[in-house]
């Protein structure tokens, strides 16, 4: 550079950029990670601990149930659907069975409906207790896990006592519930009802479940650090939640009083008194509190149902081979995770022509890319946990 060139430069315009460029790091959370509840994978672009962009990758557990259902008969599909959300297997069967029954034109007897309701609410309690135990663990508190799981085990024992299965009851039949638990093929005519002592044990279990809810109230909700980690974190506004189809406790935490048990009649919920708890702002804390309160309400429903359990047959009269006439139906249910629905299109075949499974967790986590943007890495875990999803329910 000559001196002339140098003088020609307008020095006041010279700028030196000293801004430090820190390229984003791609952080792969999952598919094998302790806090992704299975095989969810999040590809996060992080700057330090702040998420700039996040892309959930699902499908590691996709089993193609919608296709498999097309080559199965309706009773066989029960075995598929209770594997969708395995934490509350029984609750998955109910809407499918109700949908099939409505297509066929039968109705389950009242006693069967009550048993379905009791077991569905127990599935809700066990699912929510699972959440109550795992969520503090994700925030680092290991102890509540044991207390909640202890009572969950009690509830699962009861479910197992009735259905023979802890997670996959496969207990519903078209037109009622499976009448013979434990009876082999040579005992086809032996009909076994609820196991002996079930009602008394249920009342006792509900008492301990309510007690552990109070423990959780003190141990977790009364903990300053827990409040610090969850309040104001991961707020989902009601409008955004509706648009994304977020349902169940996650939606109610955002202040929307939307409970399918109150609006639809897939089970006789109208005969029982219970509240629908809602949250104020829709943060992680509200989602926790809504589930905690829902356990109490579910226990309330179970106690009422046990007290008023009618006697009568467990099965409606249905033909041995179930012929489902042409038709189309959508039945949804308030599952522990949210709205679970089955859209069955029957073309008169032995299996459904098309079965669309609307699972709650799928919609609940579809909001993640929007929700996690700009959050911190530790908050990802707090938010993921608070949505309470099950990968089987996401991938189907």
Partner 1 sequence: MTASPSEIAERYAAMVGADSFSADHGTAKIRVAASRWIEVHEALRTDLPFFSWLSAIDWAAEVAVGDPPEEAGEERYEVLSRLSDVGGGAGLIVSTDISKSDPRVASLTGVFGGADWHEREAAEMFGILFEGHPHLVKLYLPDGFEGYPLRKTFPLLSREVKPWPGTVDVEDMPATENVEAGDEAGGAEPEDGE
Partner 2 sequence: MSAILDNFWWLLAIKVLVVALFIPGFSLVLIFAELKLSAHMQSRIGPYFAGGRWGWAQPLADGLKFMQKEDLVPADADRPVFKVAPMIVLMGTLAVFVIVPFSPKLIVSDLDLGVFYALAAGSIGTVGVLMAGWSSANKYSLMGGLRAAAQLIAYELPLVLAVVGVVIAAGTMSMGGIVAAQAEPWFHIGTFGVRLPYLLQGQVVGFAIFMIASLAELSRIPFDMPIAESELVMGYLTEYSGIRFTMFFLGEYAGMFSMAAIAATLFLGGYYLPGLPIASNAMYVLGPLVLIGKVLVLVFLMIWMRWTFPRLREDQLQSLAWRWLIPLALVNIMATATFKVVF
The size of the interface with partner 2 (CB under 8 A), counted in residues, is 31
Binder of partner 1 out of 41, 45, 240, 300 (CB under 8 A): 240
Please give the distance of CA 324 from its chain centroid, rounded to a whole number. Answer: 29
Q: Which of 37, 65, 316 is nearest to 174 (CA)?
A: 316
Query: Exposed/middle/buried for 276, CB within 10 Å: 0-12, 13-18, 19+?
Result: middle
Window of 91-99, 120-128, 224-232, 287-295 that interacts with partner 2 by CB under 8 A: 224-232
Instruction: Please count the CA atoms within 13 angstroms of the CA of 200 that sit on its side-chain side.
Output: 3
- Helices 198-216 and 284-307 cross at an angle (nearest 10°) of 160
Q: Is 150 in the site for partner 2 (CB under 8 A)?
A: yes
Name the binder of 150 from partner 1, partner 2, none, CB < 5-8 A by kind.
partner 2
Contact (CB, 8 A) for 209 and 148: no
Q: Is 35 in the site for partner 2 (CB under 8 A)?
A: yes
Q: Is 377 in the site for partner 2 (CB under 8 A)?
A: yes
Q: Is 271 in the site for partner 1 (CB under 8 A)?
A: no
Binder of partner 1 out of 52, 348, 373, 374 (CB under 8 A): 348
Rounded to whole angstroms, how far apart are CA atoms 152 and 147? 9
End-to-end CA distance of the chain: 69
Binder of partner 1 out of 159, 332, 336, 387 (CB under 8 A): 332
x/- contact string, 95-124, with partner 1 (CB under 8 A)? -------xx---------------------
138's tokens: 């994700």
Binder of partner 1 out of 27, 43, 137, 180 (CB under 8 A): 180
Window of 5-13, 113-121, 251-259, 377-385 that interacts with partner 1 by CB under 8 A: 251-259
H/E run at residue 177: strand 176-177
Name the binder of 386 from partner 2, partner 1, none, CB < 5-8 A by kind.
none
Minimum gap (Å) between residue 175 Cβ and partner 2: 43
Q: C-alpha distances in angstroms, 361 versus 40, 244, 294, 392?
A: 12, 11, 18, 9
Q: Would you call 216 helix, strand, or coil by DSSP?
A: helix
277's tokens: 């708890």
Q: Is 10 in the site for partner 1 (CB under 8 A)?
A: no
Residues 229-268 that bind partner 2 (CB under 8 A): 229
* Residues found near partner 2 in the complex (CB under 8 A): 25, 27-28, 33-35, 49, 136-143, 145-147, 150, 219, 223, 225-226, 228-229, 376-381
């Amino acid at each position: 550079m000559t001196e002339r060139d140098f003088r020609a430069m307008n020095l006041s315009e010279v700028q030196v950029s000293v801004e430090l460029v820190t390229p984003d790091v791609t952080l792969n959370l999952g598919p094998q990670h302790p806090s992704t509840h299975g095989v969810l994978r999040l590809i996060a672009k992080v700057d330090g601990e702040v998420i700039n962009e996040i892309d959930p990758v699902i499908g590691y557990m996709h089993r193609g149930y919608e296709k498999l259902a097309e080559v199965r008969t309706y009773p066989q599909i029960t075995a598929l659907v209770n594997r969708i959300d395995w934490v509350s297997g029984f609750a998955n069967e109910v809407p499918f069975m109700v949908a099939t029954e409505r297509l066929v034109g039968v109705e389950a007897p009242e006693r069967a409906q009550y048993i379905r309701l009791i077991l569905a609410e127990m599935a809700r309690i066990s699912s929510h207790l699972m959440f109550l135990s795992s969520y503090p663990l994700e925030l680092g508190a290991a102890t509540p896990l044991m207390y909640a799981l202890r009572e969950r085990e009690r509830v699962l024992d009861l479910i197992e006592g009735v259905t023979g299965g802890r997670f996959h009851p496969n207990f519903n039949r078209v037109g009622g519930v499976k009448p013979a638990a434990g009876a082999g093929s040579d005992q086809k005519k032996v009909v076994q009802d609820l196991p002996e002592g079930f009602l008394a044990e249920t009342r006792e279990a509900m008492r301990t479940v309510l007690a552990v809810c109070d423990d959780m109230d003190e141990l977790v909700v009364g903990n300053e650090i827990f409040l610090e980690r969850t309040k104001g974190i991961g707020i989902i506004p009601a409008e955004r939640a509706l648009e994304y189809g977020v349902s169940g406790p996650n939606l109610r935490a955002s202040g929307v009083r939307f409970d399918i048990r109150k609006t639809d009649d897939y089970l006789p919920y109208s005969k029982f008194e219970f509240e629908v708890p809602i949250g104020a702002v829709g943060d992680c804390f509200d989602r926790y509190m809504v589930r905690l309160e829902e356990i109490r309400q579910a226990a309330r429903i179970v106690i009422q149902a046990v007290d008023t359990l009618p006697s009568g047959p467990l099965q409606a009269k249905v033909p041995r081979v179930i012929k489902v006439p042409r038709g189309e139906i959508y039945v949804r249910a308030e599952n522990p995770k949210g709205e679970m629905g089955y859209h069955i299109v029957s073309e008169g075949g032995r299996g459904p022509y098309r079965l669309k499974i609307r699972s709650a967790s799928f919609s609940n986590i579809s909001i993640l890319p929007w929700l996690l943007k700009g959050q911190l890495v530790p908050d990802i875990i707090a938010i993921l946990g608070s949505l309470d999803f099950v990968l089987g329910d996401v991938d189907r």
